[in-house]
Amino acid sequence: MVLISHRGNISGRNLEKENRPDYIKEAIEEGYNVEVDTWLFRKNFYLGHDKPTYKVSHQFFYTNNSKMWIHAKNMEALEKLHHVTNCFFHDKDQAVLTSRNKIWVYPGQPLVEDCVALIFDTTTDYPMNKLRKCYALCTDNVLYWKKKI
């Protein structure tokens, strides 16, 4: 199973560091995939959850594209990155299809085989046998789930 660090978090949420380019790189260097929130604003790329916060170059996505799951936060970012990286956009959808054909399931929604499950905590209502059939798990607690699964 692929373990995806949510915004660079590995052992719990770190609001001060998440989505920072250096924090993302640390998680990748430790061998994890990373989900990053990405914006395209005034022809520049930024990372940040609620707004464009950390400016990054287009090269940032090319350099790390095999390990990144890009959550495009606006349509402009989706348009520019869907062909370069594993990219997706969602608002209040139960699930979406990424640009590399993986089903990204929103927390609490029914899991399907070979999907990406999102679990932000160390607890879940999903049975372990269902989780083990997922392609990947995206979480703020990668170290916890690495031992559990």
Residue 147 makes CB contacts below 8 A (sequence gap 6+) with none
pLDDT at 52 over 90: yes
Comparing CA positions, the residue from 34, 32, 22, 27 lying closest to residue 70 is 34
Task: Write the burial class of residue 139 (CB in 10 Å: 0-12 exposed, 13-18 middle, 19+ buried).
Answer: buried
Residue 84 confidence class, pLDDT cut points 50, 70, 90: confident
How does residue 92 score in pLDDT terms, banded at 50, 70 and 90? Answer: confident
Structure tokens belonging to residue 83: 């062909």
Architecture of domain 2-148: Alpha-Beta Barrel (3.20)
Residue 146 and residue 143: Cα distance in Å, rounded? Answer: 5
Q: Answer yes or no: is pLDDT of 64 > 80.
A: no
- Predicted TM-score (pTM) of this structure: 0.95
- The rounded distance, in Å, linking the Cα atoms of 100 and 88 is 9
pLDDT at position 149 is 86
